[in-house]
Structure 1
Amino acid sequence: MHNILKVACYKTAHQPERVVQSLLNYGSIRVWPGALPVVLKHCCGSPRTVEVLLNAYSRLKVTDAWVEAVPLEVFKDHQDFYESLFSLARTPRSLQHLARCRVRVYLEGRLLRVVPKLPLPTFIQNYLLLHFTGLVH
């Protein structure tokens, strides 16, 4: 996980978000929450990577350091995404997201084997598997 996050911003054509998504779905260890502002600083040019990573956490403590980690030109290029991220400083995670996190914890390491077999709509299966929406919920 650490290695892919270090190069995510420089290798966006290689879709690093898919690697992060796969690692998380296979049960990879997540980044220590205290290090997320540093990760954001290095990966801010790849908002899909940031989205996948942050949607794997049930709680985030978004601070001013997070806002400072994103350069203004990157913020302008991906304004909708970063506004959804920074709004988490004022609001809790959605109940839908918290349910996703609980299911992911319960199925940890078995997500890719179990979720496709569940009698759920494709949208919900994709949501559980951290597919990209362009927002942090």
Structure 2
Amino acid sequence: MERHAVIVAGFGFRSAATEASLADALARAGATPQALAAPEDKAQTPLFRRFAAAQHLPVVAIDTARLTAQTTATRSPASAAARGTGSVAEAAALAAAGPGATLLAPRAISQDRCATCALARGTET
């Protein structure tokens, strides 16, 4: 069975975030993903769906159990208190990229500080 590398962009974002916030965080992360990921509640928002459609990328919704099971490079106390993980963006990217996924770099933060994006590399079959 042939395996292919896949890059997933995971996102965390505040309610004040805009499509520009998400786009800036993705640009700062520095790679082109094949999918976008976010916690279930955020993945279903009109904002995230519009952003994904504009990027022509599928959305992967990550449930709480998968989100909190990830080991992140960043240890944000605010993220830990709100979501049970050191970085929502990093955890979402790792969960969506699958078992054995690795972060390409710690999360990137949008200039307006309303969105974070992290990239993880995994494999798909």
User: Do Structure 1 and Structure 2 share a fold, with TM-score over 0.5?
Assistant: no
Using the size of structure 1 for normalisation, the TM-score is 0.30
Query: Which of structures 1 and 2 has the bigger CA Rg?
Result: 1
With CA pairs under 8 Å and 6+ residues apart, which has the higher RCO, 1 or 2? Answer: 2
